[in-house]
Amino acid sequence: MSRYESKDWKQSMKLRYDYNNMLLGKVDVESQHPSFQKKVGALTAQEIDAAMPALEKARLSIARKWGKPSRMMAWTKLPYNQKTVVRDILSAAKGIRKNFEYLVVFGIGGSALGPIAVQQALNHLHYNDLPAEKRNGPKLYVVDNVDPERMSALFDVIELEKTCFIIITKSGSTSETMSQTLIAFDALKDKLGEDSIRHQVIAVTDKAKGNLARIAADYGLKKFVVPDGVGGRFSELCPVGLLPAAACGIDIEEMLAGAAYMDELCREADLTKNLGYMAGLIAYLTMKKGKNIQVMIPYSDSLKYMSDWYAQLWAESLGKKYSFRKKVVHTGQTPVKALGVTDQHSQVQLYAEGPFDKVITFLGVDSYRTTYTIPTGFEGMPSLSFLSGHTMNELIQSEQFATEMALTHAGKLNQTITLPEVNAFTLGELMFFFEVQTTVCGELLGIDAFDQPGVEEGKINTYALLGRPGYEDVKKALDAQEKKEDKFVI
Amino acid sequence: MSRYESKDWKQSMKLRYDYNNMLLGKVDVESQHPSFQKKVGALTAQEIDAAMPALEKARLSIARKWGKPSRMMAWTKLPYNQKTVVRDILSAAKGIRKNFEYLVVFGIGGSALGPIAVQQALNHLHYNDLPAEKRNGPKLYVVDNVDPERMSALFDVIELEKTCFIIITKSGSTSETMSQTLIAFDALKDKLGEDSIRHQVIAVTDKAKGNLARIAADYGLKKFVVPDGVGGRFSELCPVGLLPAAACGIDIEEMLAGAAYMDELCREADLTKNLGYMAGLIAYLTMKKGKNIQVMIPYSDSLKYMSDWYAQLWAESLGKKYSFRKKVVHTGQTPVKALGVTDQHSQVQLYAEGPFDKVITFLGVDSYRTTYTIPTGFEGMPSLSFLSGHTMNELIQSEQFATEMALTHAGKLNQTITLPEVNAFTLGELMFFFEVQTTVCGELLGIDAFDQPGVEEGKINTYALLGRPGYEDVKKALDAQEKKEDKFVI
């Protein structure tokens, strides 16, 4: 029996969402003066109560879309509908571990941020530096840029004949990923013969449509499907994220079990006790109060790249020009990635003393997977020797609490999400929690959290600049738009 | 003769600062309607002209502090006053390269962000993964956190007897760095005998004061000095940054030459032609217009961590509660780290369609150090084959320009800093440029850009929580402050 089949164990692994320090009376200890309280912008119990009918309405609206591919909400079914897919992934992953020493993922956006975040959270923090026998799989390189220097650096450190490539793009027309694909195919063909492509490349793409699906068919590639109605930033729990994770030895079934558990928690009918819904509501209310910045600060190196994954989810989902009703709204809260304790020595000065323009979200951990005691030494120096005998665990957790208290004292809104431990189950919970929160917040804002029309213009401009047929007029418009004056270039 | 002794070469390596897209008439192409223009918040030529006397005044004020340790502006002298120090560093670096296979830097904040940024910019992008003979020095680990899991992971991948430790803290009382030091000393003593400490540890700290200076003396450690009047975030061009860089084979003399060249450029008397001063002014004016977010988006993996280094510089320097005159001001602009083209698939949706609350700073590169041609293939697919024959260099640069045009079209203020090439000289230029810009902006804001009083409370809270003698009352106050209600924890 897997541990996640035990109800007790699952409950012991439940995330906690604590929003005490978002509330009036908690975060305005410095002064009760109205002008200070106005700056702080804390929420009141009355405001929250008053918003509950809107939250209830959001729930009904979301319930109508839940699971529907046509509404881009097929991600909600991923914890349940992948039994066969998972079996297939586990088998492919076994093959990768057996046959390859390097795993290169070509993908960008959600196709990279999820795999990177999960690898950092659940594998060794210096995984690629470990000798092969101590790793759970091949060295992993997720290459999510088209910088020529990085591409060249990649080929310096892999051995082509020992490398498996996973190419991830739902549409099959992502310029960045397909450029990399052209390069990899050419290199494989050139050095190892055309047949090597079939053995060393796996495609993750649409079931039938698009260039990559066609290429996969032409070359006879092993292929996994990005299900319809699962957007890039909601795709971590489908083959996009599961295949690279499984290849590196991560328990993807436990991840999915964690997501299912969070789904269950977010079905709680009393919305005041529903952590996904309350987190969405609290975020919405702070946005209405003008907090346009959302800082995520995990106190764990393993959760560092969860901030990157979340930044895409939050930014692309909520950063919208138009409402559902086509009103111009320009919504969005800008995500900022930080790391505790590191950024206490970089960003916290600003958070403590700067403008009252942000919400700080702490990501904490109850139990780290290692305990490290700070040894004795330097006995003659009391300003150092007080550290001896404490664990690093105590030090990092004390610093987190110390920072929370200092920011609260300074009147800066903050909240804390705590993982009992970082493992595949809690990570599945966390990601699903954020997806629900984002959906709820988008619903309250009255915008479509699942599209990204604002990136089209940049893509089209790129096509025009690179001379893709059909974009000649755009090129002309760009030439006309560019009117730089030399006097403003120094 | 070194290349940076040639005036022509230096000029060919001059950074360019382009603020066309910050101006009315450039960034408001979408509509000339006053309500749109108000949202955009572009600067007008008249506004800039009107601010020139204030900028001139700032210059005079800065000139009075220039180079003065008592005003924390000793960093301005670093390009000139380190001949002996550099000789000493180069000799130590040679020893490190000869005797060690691993270099571990313990430091946090400026003591880590600078070394990380420079290493990423100037060495191979997968430096640690290269075989020893292809690297310019030992494997480098900059450990800037106290996560027990990370500490444990570090000791899994280094071999203690082949490791040099550089410990960096000016005060010698940074809890994080000194905890790590206790651990390293204990491990060395335990495994290799007390004598190994003297051979394997180098201290970078105050010339005389503080715990680390005393420890260095007690153990006979090789020591480098953080000069008086150089704050952590302005310390990259002193031994803090130069020693790790030199140990990894980076040309630190060229870095300093680049900084000196930028210093020269920022002495330009016509301030409209002075890039450091104009960049400071433009930032200040946008802050006055309510742009509280500053996004830095380098289009180069090598410059990725320059955003982290800059984020500390900008946040800690300008995020202040009090003005020079002790007025409560709560200034600050929140830095956001991004990466091009990667974050086009994560953040640009928000930047394009979301609120008009930010300035986007592109960091571009004229010549990448590698050229990579996208090969032919997939000829039957015109939506892919248009990429073939182009270089990745063209692709990334086109995407940068395409994104700039799209954001400009959307009315989002943006500016571009271009490096002719990423090398030690231009990196020295860039860092010194940002330091001048920050100083100028701080002066215009009327705040002290060189202190960080807002981090004290968190430090003191940590001392109290860990039972450091003398902090008992703080502990009591913390216990009283913490009044969490269970109903706000889900």
* pTM, entire model: 0.97
Give the pLDDT confidence score for residue A479 in this predicted structure. 85
For chain A, say whether B453 makes contact (Cβ under 8 Å).
yes
User: Are residues A301 and B145, on separate chains, in Cβ contact within 8 Å?
Assistant: yes
| Chain B residues inside the 8 Å CB shell of A353 | 319-321, 330, 332, 453-454
Alpha-carbon distance B316 to nearest alpha carbon in chain A (angstroms): 5
Nearest CA in chain B to A106: B342
A81 Cα to chain B: minimum distance (Å): 27
CA angle A468, A470, A475 (to 5 degrees): 70
Q: Is B346 on the interface with A (CB under 8 A)?
A: yes
Asked if A342's CB is within 8 angstroms of B149's CB, the reply is no
Please say if the pLDDT value at position A136 is more than 90.
Answer: no
Confidence of residue A416 (pLDDT cuts 50, 70, 90): very high
Tokens of B170: 């000016």
Residue B481 confidence class, pLDDT cut points 50, 70, 90: confident
pLDDT band at B341 (very low <50, low <70, confident <90, very high): very high
How far does A302 lie from chain B, in Å, by closest CA? 8
**ipTM rounded to 2 decimals:** 0.97
Domains B3-66+256-445 and B75-250 share a fold: yes
**Strand A414-421 relative to strand A16-18: parallel, antiparallel, unpaired?**
antiparallel
Average pLDDT over every residue of A102-115: 98
Q: What is the pLDDT of residue B425?
A: 98
Quote the radius of gyration of chain B (alpha carbons, Å). Answer: 24
Burial (Cβ within 10 Å: 0-12, 13-18, ≥19) of residue B317: buried
pLDDT for A483 equals: 72
Which CATH superfamily is B75-250 part of? Glucose-6-phosphate isomerase like protein; domain 1 (3.40.50.10490)
Average pLDDT over all residues of chain B: 96
Residue A358 CA, chain-centre distance (Å), reads 20
DSSP output for A74-97: GGGGTTTS-HHHHHHHHHHHHHHH
Which of these is catalytic: B176, B236, B316, B435?
Answer: B316
Dump pLDDT digits (tens) for A336-391: 999 999 999 999 999 999 999 999 999 999 999 999 999 999 988 988 999 999 99
Q: What pLDDT band is residue B479 in, cutting at 50, 70 and 90?
A: confident
Q: What is the pLDDT of residues A140-167, one digit of tens each?
A: 999 999 999 999 999 999 999 999 999 9
- CA B316, B322, B323, B327: dihedral to nearest 10 degrees? 170
Do the chains contact at A345 and B232, CB–CB below 8 Å? yes
Quote the pLDDT of residue A481. 75
Is A345 an active-site residue? yes
> What's the pLDDT score for residue A241?
98
Catalytic residue (one of A236, A316, A435, A443): A316
Average pLDDT, chain A: 96
Considering only the beta carbons, identify the residue of A129, A348, A388 that sits closest to B128: A129
Residue spans of the domains in chain B: they are: 3-66+256-445, 75-250
* Candidates 1.20.58.100, 3.40.50.1820, 3.30.360.10, 3.40.50.10490; CATH matching B3-66+256-445: 3.40.50.10490
CA A368, CA B277: separation in Å to the nearest integer?
47
B169 CB contacts (<8 Å, ≥6 apart)? B107, B111, B177, B178, B204, B205, B210, B212
Residue B338: per-residue pLDDT = 97
The band of A315, judged by pLDDT with boundaries at 50, 70 and 90, is: very high
Q: How confident is the model at residue A33 (pLDDT cuts 50, 70, 90)?
A: confident
Quote the pLDDT of residue B32: 80
pLDDT digits (tens, 9 = 90+) for B350-383: 999 999 999 999 999 999 999 999 999 998 898 8
- Segment B148-170 shows an average pLDDT of 98
- The answer to whether residue A401 neighbours chain B at the CB level (below 8 Å) is yes
Residues of B in Cβ contact (< 8 Å) with A417 = none
Mean pLDDT, residues B116-139: 96
Q: Is A57 a catalytic residue?
A: no
Q: Grade residue B30 by pLDDT with cuts at 50, 70 and 90.
A: confident
> Phi-psi region for residue A170, left (φ > 0), alpha (ψ -120 to 50) or beta?
alpha
Q: Which of B7, B326, B330, B345 is catalytic?
A: B345
d(CA B49, nearest CA chain A) in Å: 13
Establish if B390 touches chain A: CB-CB under 8 angstroms.
yes
Q: pLDDT tens for residues B219-278?
A: 999 999 999 999 999 999 999 999 999 999 999 999 999 999 999 999 999 999 999 999
Closest partner residue to B211 (CB to CB) among A347, A384, A391 is A384
Q: What is the distance between the alpha carbons of residues A74 and A231, in angstroms, rounded to a whole number?
A: 9
Comparing A158-167, A456-465, B159-168, which segment has the lowest mean pLDDT?
A456-465
> How much of chain A exceeds pLDDT 90, in percent?
93
B99: tokens are 């005797």
Name the token pair of A349: 């000065």
| pLDDT recorded at residue B169 | 97
Nearest to A378 among B134, B211, B369 (CB): B211
pLDDT above 80 (res A426): yes
Sheet harboring A293-298: ordered strands across?
A: A16-18, A414-421, A358-367, A293-298, A334-337
> Chain B contacts of A157, Cβ < 8 Å?
126, 129-130
| Integer Cα distance of A212 and A184 in angstroms | 14
- Token readout for B396 is 């990334």
Q: Is B187's pLDDT higher than 90?
A: yes
Q: State the pLDDT confidence band at A30, using cuts at 50, 70 and 90.
A: confident
B410 near A CB under 8 A: yes
Cα–Cα distance list, A98 to A103, A160, A251 (Å): 12, 16, 17
Q: How far is B84 from chain A (nearest CA, A)?
A: 30
Judge whether residue B211 has pLDDT over 80: yes
* A175-218 tens-digit pLDDT: 999 999 999 999 999 999 999 999 999 999 999 999 999 999 99
Per the annotation, the verdict on B345 as an active-site residue is: yes
Closest CA to A144 of B135, B304, B115: B304
Task: List the single residue in A348, A378, A384 with the smallest CB-CB distance to B458.
Answer: A348
